């Protein structure tokens, strides 16, 4: 395992070349040169998806942990490796950057990518706090013509096509509620999200200060680094991991706005392994559209799995593996159930990002959807932590 010192010397020696690289103007058929910040488990998956699309290549990869740079280099052996993302962003030949870092670092990295004039694929949940969301919005608006796609993959799916088609063709009446579930289970002794601490996770191989970012300072802790999803300082728990996806889908399909109020209850009922974020939870969101969204989730039983039901006076849309419209017979007597069958192409969401860069179009999950859904998620987390309902002051753009 190479040490931090070796990587530092490697990228330091390339800085002169990087700074001298000319700016590129991307043509419709030119290759898109990519960088990635955060090639961990999810980041490596994004790299594979990107490399499965035609006309793209990785020019740079950055992570604060040397092991991950070696793993990323196996996928993109020609890419330069960096421990400090600022060196990657100085490469003027890079057209777009994928961000797959822990949630508390999204704002820092996104704003830097915008300032560097790159297009950006930002993994979910887009913003960690309301302040971060507003800072990211300011950077995005200042960047002007940069393409930004948020990593809610279902927004580019056959499910979305079917949902929009059924919403447009079939009666729903007044939609008053959306009920969602997201349940998982794991074998005894294998906690959800838990990752092993490897011997090479040392201060020599991890830039600890850069990992902490704006979060409160702690002494080096390998468990806190690798299991960052357990801790509120870096993570929004399962609200940020999974509720965000389900919420973003319907925020896009129904064009829903930031909630009026959110309430979250639950606790660490199952996995007593030092995690702070709950493993069992219930969220209730009151929308300004006079609609109530409920989300129930847990890690101790997978019977209910992931489901979403949109409840209208005239019809229901049920989302699971497929989209189904069902009539409310009390009000809709002349229509039969409809089943969506539109397939989702492999790597569809990543391909959409690249297509939008080449065609200067709005991505299927644009900044605005990520912005609204991330604030909704923050409202839920703040409700849980403050043990009260959180409301949104639309005039001040802040939580109350």
Confidence of residue 2 (pLDDT cuts 50, 70, 90): very low
Nearest to 136 by CA among 162, 169, 114, 168: 114
On whether the CB atoms of residues 299 and 266 are closer than 8 A, the answer is no
Question: What strand order describes the sheet that includes 56-62?
Answer: 80-82, 56-62, 32-37, 96-99, 119-122, 148-150
Domain assignment of residue 144, yes or no: yes
* Residue 360 belongs to some domain of the structure: no
Q: What is the pLDDT of residue 3?
A: 45
User: Average pLDDT of the chain?
Assistant: 94
Q: Are residues 165 and 305 in the same domain?
A: yes
| Token representation of residue 63 | 């992570």
Is 358 part of any domain? no
352 in a structural domain:
no
Q: How does residue 59 score in pLDDT terms, banded at 50, 70 and 90?
A: very high
Residue 350 lies in a domain: no
Q: Are 295 and 181 in contact (CB under 8 A)?
A: yes
pLDDT band at 73 (very low <50, low <70, confident <90, very high): very high
Alpha carbon distance 170, 163 (integer Å): 10
> Are 150 and 162 members of one domain?
no
Give me 77's structure tokens. 């052996």
Residue 79: which CATH number? 3.40.50.720
Query: Parallel, antiparallel, or unpaired: how do β-strands 280-287 and 261-267 relate?
Result: antiparallel
Residue 122 and residue 191 in one domain: no
Split into its structural domains, the chain has a count of 2
Listed residues 104, 122, 154: the one ending a domain:
154
Domain limit, last residue, from 154, 180, 203: 154
Q: Which of 154, 176, 202 is the endpoint of a domain?
A: 154
Structural domain for 136, as ranges? 4-154
Query: Which residues, other chains included, contact 35 with Cβ-Cβ below 8 Å and sequence gap of 6+?
Result: 58, 59, 60, 61, 62, 88, 89, 91, 94, 96, 97, 98, 118
| pLDDT attached to residue 30 | 86
Note whether 82 and 179 are same-domain residues.
no
Do both 147 and 162 map to the same domain? no
Q: Tens digits of per-residue pLDDT, 90-134?
A: 999 999 999 999 999 999 999 999 999 999 999 999 999 999 999
Q: What is the pLDDT of residues 139-164, one digit of tens each?
A: 999 999 999 999 999 999 999 999 99
State residue 29's pLDDT score. 63
Let me know: does 323 contact 338? Beta carbons within 8 Å: no
Q: Which of 38, 212, 41, 225 is nearest to 120 (CA)?
A: 38
Same domain, 128 and 187: no
165 plus 149 within the same structural domain = no
Kindly state whether residue 130 falls inside one of the protein's structural domains: yes
Burial class (CB in 10 A: 0-12, 13-18, 19+), 292: middle
- The CATH number assigned to the domain holding 320 equals 3.30.360.10
Pair 232, 123 in one domain: no
Q: Which two tokens stand for residue 309?
A: 């039901």
Q: Are residues 325 and 179 located together in one domain of the fold?
A: yes
- Whether 117 is covered by a domain: the verdict is yes
Q: Are residues 16 and 136 in the same domain?
A: yes
- Domain assignment present for residue 362? The answer is no
At 323, give phi and psi (nearest 5°).
Answer: -100, 130
Residues 305 and 181 in one domain: yes
What letter would DSSP give residue 65?
A: B
Element (H, E) at 223: helix 222-226
Burial degree of 257 (CB within 10 A; 0-12, 13-18, 19+):
middle
Query: Does 133 share its domain with 162?
Result: no
């Amino acid at each position: 395992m190479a040490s931090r010192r070796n990587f530092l010397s490697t990228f330091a020696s390339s800085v002169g070349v990087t700074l001298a690289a000319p700016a590129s103007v991307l043509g419709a058929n030119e290759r898109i040169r990519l960088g990635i910040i955060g090639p961990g488990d999810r980041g490596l998956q994004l790299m594979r998806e990107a490399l499965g699309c035609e006309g793209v290549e990785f020019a740079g990869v950055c992570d604060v942990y040397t092991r991950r740079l070696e793993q990323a280099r196996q996928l993109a052996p020609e890419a330069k490796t960096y421990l400090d993302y600022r060196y990657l962003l100085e490469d003027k030949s890079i057209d777009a950057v994928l961000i797959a870092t822990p949630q508390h670092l999204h704002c820092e990295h996104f704003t830097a990518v915008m300032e560097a004039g790159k297009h950006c694929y930002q993994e979910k949940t887009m913003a960690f706090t309301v302040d971060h969301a507003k800072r990211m919005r300011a950077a995005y608006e200042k960047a002007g013509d940069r393409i930004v796609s948020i990593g809610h993959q279902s927004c580019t799916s056959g499910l979305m096509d079917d949902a929009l088609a059924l919403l447009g063709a079939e009666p729903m009446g007044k939609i008053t509620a959306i009920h969602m579930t997201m349940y998982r289970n794991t074998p005894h002794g294998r906690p959800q999200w838990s990752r092993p601490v490897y011997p090479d996770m040392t201060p020599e191989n991890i830039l600890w200060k850069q990992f902490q970012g704006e979060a409160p300072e702690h002494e080096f802790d390998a468990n806190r680094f690798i299991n960052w999803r357990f801790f509120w300082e870096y993570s929004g728990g399962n609200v940020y991991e999974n509720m965000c996806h389900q919420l973003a889908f319907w925020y896009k399909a129904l064009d829903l706005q930031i909630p009026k109020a959110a309430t979250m209850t639950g606790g660490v009922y199952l996995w007593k392994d030092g995690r702070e974020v709950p493993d069992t939870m219930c969220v209730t969101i009151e929308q300004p559209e006079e609609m109530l969204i409920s989300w129930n989730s847990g890690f101790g039983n997978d019977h209910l799995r992931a489901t979403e039901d949109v409840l209208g006076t005239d019809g229901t849309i049920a989302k699971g593996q497929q989209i189904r419209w069902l009539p409310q017979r009390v009000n809709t007597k002349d229509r039969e159930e409809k089943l969506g069958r539109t397939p989702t192409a492999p790597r569809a969401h990543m391909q959409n990002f690249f297509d939008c860069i080449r065609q200067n179009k709005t991505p299927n999950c644009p900044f605005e959807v990520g912005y609204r859904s991330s604030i909704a998620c923050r409202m839920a987390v703040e409700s849980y932590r403050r043990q009260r309902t959180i409301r949104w002051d639309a005039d001040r753009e802040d939580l109350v």
